[in-house]
A = this chain, B = another copy of it.
Amino acid sequence: MRSYGQYCSVAKALDVIGARWNLLIVRELVLRGPLRYTDLMAGLPGIATNLLSERLHDLEQAGVVTREAAPPPIATTVFDLTERGRQLDQIVRALGEWGVPLMVEPARDDEFRSDWLSFPVSLFFTREAPAGPPVAIELRTGDHPMTIETADGAVRTRSGAADEPDLVLTGDPQPILGLLSGYLEPAEARDRGVQVEGDLDILDRLRPQAAVTAR
């Protein structure tokens, strides 16, 4: 991408990570950790293979991404963020939070990957785990299950199923997010095809006090 040619730190940052796809590549590495080329392709539906290749070289050059030939038994190239790249976490996260209101509109033909749920979920729920017994919520939507759980005093989202979920939500991502955010009533979510197994009241325990009182 052509430089903005401005001696401004915002413009300089955008010179490095402002080109199309760059921040989404960073998103994948932030959410999923070190990845192979094909994993990146799978997490970035819509990108052309030549562009991913070119962008990875650019980001490597800029000191944002590392490319490492993993030893056997992996025997493939693995891409990861550098320390400097990891500092982009806050920018991707801020974008993810700003974009949450844009998820209310139905998805239509949008592609979806389960890992992308992390940003909205972290916005809806408290950072710190509430007092009381631990919580585990399993979301069955997208390409693989995701679990929201309390651990070490924090609320975290991770890939994979829960061992003993208190609540399992199955369906399309949009109504599930509506339910998690409190934007949709349980009855509406069910109308939109969400299957609920377990205790929905548990969601209130994870929400910031302000949101709870607002209901």
Task: State the A residues within 8 Å of B (CB).
Answer: 1, 4-16, 18, 20, 23-24, 27, 45-46, 84, 87-88, 90-92, 94-103, 107, 109-113, 116, 119-120, 173-174
CA of A66 to CA of B99, assembled, Å: 19
Interface SS, A side: helix
Min Cβ gap A15→B in Å is: 7
Min Cβ gap A36→B in Å is: 20
CA of A109 to CA of B95, assembled, Å: 31
Are B6 and A96 in touch, CB under 8 angstroms? no
- Given the complex, which residues of B lie within 8 Å of A110, measured CB to CB? 5-7
Given contacts A7-B112, A13-B102, A14-B23, 17 further A-B contacts (CB under 8 A): A1-B20, A4-B24, A5-B46, A5-B110, A6-B110, A7-B110, A7-B116, A8-B27, A8-B99, A9-B102, A10-B23, A10-B96, A11-B99, A13-B99, A16-B102, A87-B98, A91-B91
